[in-house]
Amino acid sequence: MTHLSLKNVSKHFGDFTAVNDFNLDVNKGEFVSFLGPSGCGKTTTLRMIAGFEIPSTGQITINGADITNKAPSQRNVGMVFQSYALFPNMTVAQNIGFGLRIRKEKEADVVDRVKEMLAIINLEKKADSYPYQLSGGQMQRVALGRALAIRPEVLLLDEPLSALDAKIRIALRAEIRGIQQKLGITAIYVTHDQEEALSLSDRIVVMREGEMDQVGTPFQIYNFPTTVFVANFVGTLNNASAEVVDPAKSIIAIDGIQFESAVDLKERKKGDKVRVAIRPERFNFVSQEKKANIVDCRIENITFLGSIVRIQVMIGNSKFYMDTFNNPFLELPKIGDKDQVTCSREAVLVLDE
Amino acid sequence: MAQTALKLKGSPPVSDWKKWLGVTPFFLFAILFLVLPSLRLVMGSFTNSEGQFTFANLLQLFQEQFILDAYWLSIRISAATAIGGGIFGFLLAYSVTVGGLPKPLRSALITFSGVASNFAGVPLAFSFIATLGRTGFVTALIKNVFGINLYQQTEFDLYSFWGLSLTYMYFQFPLMVLIMAPALDGLKREWREAAENLGASTTQYWLRVALPVLLPSILGSMILLFGNAFGAYATAYALTGGRLGIITIQIGAQIRGDVLHNPGLGYAMAMGMVIIMAISLIGYSWLQKRSERWLR
């Protein structure tokens, strides 16, 4: 059932279009991430849901009720900010209880709810601490507790982890997802970090220049990008210009080297220019595993990335990366070696040029 | 060996005395014009006219009514101008920072405040006499345009408590603007948005978040304004010619005066002033620390 809905929402700042014709239905309890580079309109869209920006056109509804022009204080939407935005003059407990006291809830109920929130965010012992006495991760948990305390219809998170270091970021994102699932709250999460979006979301909206480029599950977005932008933005992707050789058999050629794809190319003509995209992890050396596409290559470079070893190869005149899991007994080729690599038909994505 | 290698790699060690070279002029200046006069002041307050040790000067501070009146008058003028200048300056600073007035106006006001906060003493007194004195330009203008004689038909008197307070306000409110503008800039937009998001109105945001956050800065600044007015001498002397017996004028009369010449008592009165100023500065410093912790 649709809980939050954005219909034909646009936002213009003078001549500049920040968001253009944005349409999205979010179900109750769904976790949706807006993913895109800086300036793509994701935060503006979030701020329109919060009420800090009024859409130039379009409509925003929650549970069918139009909130497009409502003041932020009238929307019952919780928001977690990148910079925490905790009130520095209040303790952790006072911060969490702020929204409830503003709503003039009974003091006993406020105290109970604050305790409940402190337990959820695991900060019972810090109830009387001030924000300046907390670490970044603790502050963001308080901000989350404060936003959830008012029992919002929708929880909005604006790059909440980007100010934290890597380890805390990973731990806290799991905590956020856990709390969201436990409370069954609808959440919209803005991030430019693809790993964050892939690991947290039920669905991802990839945005570019104010428009939605692709909407889908993390699995769909990563494995079946529909545009070159999504393919490049989400994960590392090899892509090269290619030509359709045999549309019926879905065969294309990169610099004359033929690849067979699982993508149906019947609607294309022989000689059509297309773009071929293959994830680095979908390549293997022929000696390890036989697949459909076996092509000659030359080893150009080898880079260790911790658990992954990234090998740069030349196929024809095009540069490709292949990833292989690192292990101490791995026999790696040498730079300059000639070898053969292979990938499945399903690994060969064909996109518009 | 390892230590030798480290020494060779690093930059050549600076001799200890060279590190202090840059601050030497400051320390010399401070010794000559702050420490020595302060010592002289302390010693003088315990010395009678024959050069002997005495507590009489300090005891007189609490016994002589004119001294207590002088302190009280100075405190009242300083408090009035600190509160008035503080409120006026805060509203101005608010208008040009979070108030949304055009940015060029902010630059103009900050520049003016920088100049005006240092415009005090005889020039300030004369400029007020020239504008709001008995034959001042504005006094004449009001008389000619509105037919109102400020000095005969109203209670206004530039050479009175309120007249002197008005004159002090000229350098008090710009000082408040200079101190409060950065503090107001320190209010994060996200605090307002978070408050609104949690259901607060603009008034609730100001009463529960912004003002409590700013309060240490506001109070601290007002204490600074109080100290600023409390120590003023030349403006009051040039404006009132001693008609208003504020403490600085009384000290001047005791140390340099022909009639009331009693340097020992003057030094003791100055020591009382130093104590009041020190309390003010401690208060300012404590509040400023609290404010910095919240606004960082």
Please report the number of interchain residue pairs, chain A to chain B, with beta-carbon separation below 8 angstroms: 74
Distance CA A100, CA A106 (A): 9
Q: What is the pLDDT of residue B6?
A: 45
A9: confidence class by pLDDT, cuts 50, 70, 90: very high
Residue B284 is assigned to a structural domain of this protein: yes
Q: What is the CATH number of the domain that holds A169?
A: 3.40.50.300
Residue B43 is assigned to a structural domain of this protein: no
Q: What is the mean pLDDT of residues B69-75?
A: 95
Residue B182 is assigned to a structural domain of this protein: yes
Inter-chain touch B197–A77, beta carbons under 8 Å: yes
- For residue A63, pLDDT beyond 80: yes
Among B191, B199, B201, whose Cβ lies nearest the Cβ of A87? B191
Residues A136 and A269 in one domain: no
Q: CA-based Rg of chain B, rounded to a whole angstrom?
A: 25
Candidates A183, A187, A222; CA nearest to A202 is A187
Distance CA A139, CA A84 (A): 6
The nearest CA of chain B is from the CA of A74 a distance in Å of 6
Residues A26 and A146 in one domain: yes
Which ipTM value was assigned to this complex? Answer: 0.82
Residues A203 and A292 in one domain: no
pLDDT tens, residue by residue, B188-198: 999 999 999 99
Chain B residues 170-209 within an 8 A CB cutoff of chain A: 188, 190-191, 193-201, 204, 208-209
Q: Which residues of A touch B213 (CB under 8 A)?
A: 87-89
A85: confidence class by pLDDT, cuts 50, 70, 90: very high
Distance CA A269, CA A245 (A): 8
pLDDT tens, residue by residue, A253-271: 999 999 999 999 999 999 9
Could you give the percent of chain A with pLDDT greater than 90?
Answer: 72
Looking at A232, A249, A278, which one is the last position of a domain?
A: A232
Looking at A197, A232, A267, which one is the last position of a domain?
A: A232
Distance CA A309, CA A330 (A): 10
Q: Which residues pair with B77 in a beta bridge?
A: none
Residues A246 and A227 in one domain: no
Tally of CA atoms within 13 A in the half-sphere of B58 that contains its CB: 13
Looking at A191, A217, A232, which one is the last position of a domain?
A: A232
Secondary structure (DSSP) of A77-118: EEEE-TT----TTS-HHHHHHHHHHHTT--HHHHHHHHHHHH
Q: What is the mean pLDDT of residues A146-151?
A: 95
Max CA pair span of chain A = 75
Candidates B237, B115, B133, B244; CA nearest to B171 is B115
Cβ–Cβ contact B232 with A under 8 A: no
A55 neighbors A10 (Cβ within 8 angstroms): yes
Residues A289 and A216 in one domain: no
Domain holding A304, by residue range, is 236-352
pLDDT tens, residue by residue, B125-155: 999 999 999 999 999 999 999 999 989 888 8
A240 neighbors A193 (Cβ within 8 angstroms): no
Q: What is the pLDDT of residue A320?
A: 93
Helix (H) or strand (E) holding B51: none
Domain count across chain B = 1
Inter-chain touch A78–B194, beta carbons under 8 Å: no
Q: Which residues of A touch B296 (CB under 8 A)?
A: 132
Supply the mean pLDDT for chain B. 89
Q: Which residue has the tokens 């600073």?
A: B93
- For residue A1, pLDDT beyond 90: no
The DSSP code for B47 is B
Among A81, A98, A102, whose Cβ lies nearest the Cβ of B190? A81
B92 neighbors B181 (Cβ within 8 angstroms): no
Residues A256 and A300 in one domain: yes
Backbone angles phi, psi at B102, to 5 degrees: -55, 145
Residues A222 and A241 in one domain: no
Domain holding B142, by residue range, is 61-295
Residues A269 and A164 in one domain: no
Residues A228 and A241 in one domain: no
A281 burial (CB, 10 Å; 0-12 / 13-18 / 19+) is middle
Distance CA A47, CA B275 (A): 53
Secondary structure (DSSP) of A213-249: EEEE-HHHHHHS-SSHHHHHHSS--EEEEEEEEETTT
Inter-chain touch A87–B204, beta carbons under 8 Å: no
Top-confidence residue, B243 or B70: B70
Residues A228 and A272 in one domain: no
Among A78, A83, A102, whose Cβ lies nearest the Cβ of B204? A102
Secondary structure (DSSP) of B179-195: HHHHHHHTS-HHHHHHH
Q: What is the pLDDT of residue A290?
A: 60
Q: What is the pLDDT of residue A102?
A: 96
pLDDT tens, residue by residue, A274-315: 999 898 988 888 865 566 789 999 999 988 887 888 999 999
Inter-chain touch B209–A85, beta carbons under 8 Å: no
DSSP collapsed to 3 states, B118-163: CCCCHHHHHHHHHHHCCCCHHHHHHHHHHCCCHHHHCCCCCCCHHH
Candidates A273, A276, A271; CA nearest to A260 is A276
Supply the mean pLDDT for chain A. 92
Residue B166 is assigned to a structural domain of this protein: yes
**CA angle B289-B294-B296, nearest 5°?**
90
B233 neighbors B254 (Cβ within 8 angstroms): no
Q: What is the pLDDT of residue B160?
A: 92
B44 neighbors B264 (Cβ within 8 angstroms): yes
Distance CA B173, CA B224 (A): 11
Distance CA B226, CA A148 (A): 45
Residue B245 is assigned to a structural domain of this protein: yes
Phi-psi region of A318 (alpha: psi -120 to 50; beta: other; left: phi over 0): beta
Q: What is the pLDDT of residue B7?
A: 47
Inter-chain touch A72–B212, beta carbons under 8 Å: no
Residues A205 and A255 in one domain: no
Domain count across chain A = 2
Of the residues A76, A95, A98, the best mutation for testing chain B's interface (the one with the most B CB atoms within 10 Å of its CB) is: A98
Residue B27 is assigned to a structural domain of this protein: no
- Give the three-class secondary structure for A287: coil
Residue B260 is assigned to a structural domain of this protein: yes
**Between β-strands A186-191 and A31-35, what pairing exists: parallel, antiparallel or unpaired?**
parallel
A100 neighbors A115 (Cβ within 8 angstroms): no
Q: What is the CATH number of the domain that holds A246?
A: 2.40.50.140
pLDDT tens, residue by residue, A16-48: 999 999 999 999 999 999 999 999 999 999 999
Distance CA A222, CA A225 (A): 6
Residues A59 and A103 in one domain: yes
Phi-psi region of B107 (alpha: psi -120 to 50; beta: other; left: phi over 0): alpha
Query: Residue B95: how many CB atoms within 10 A of its CB?
Result: 16
Q: What is the CATH number of the domain that holds B78?
A: 1.10.3720.10
Q: What is the pLDDT of residue B14?
A: 65
Residue B273 is assigned to a structural domain of this protein: yes
Q: What is the pLDDT of residue A305?
A: 81
Candidates A137, A229, A144, A233; CA nearest to A193 is A233
Distance CA A153, CA B59 (A): 71
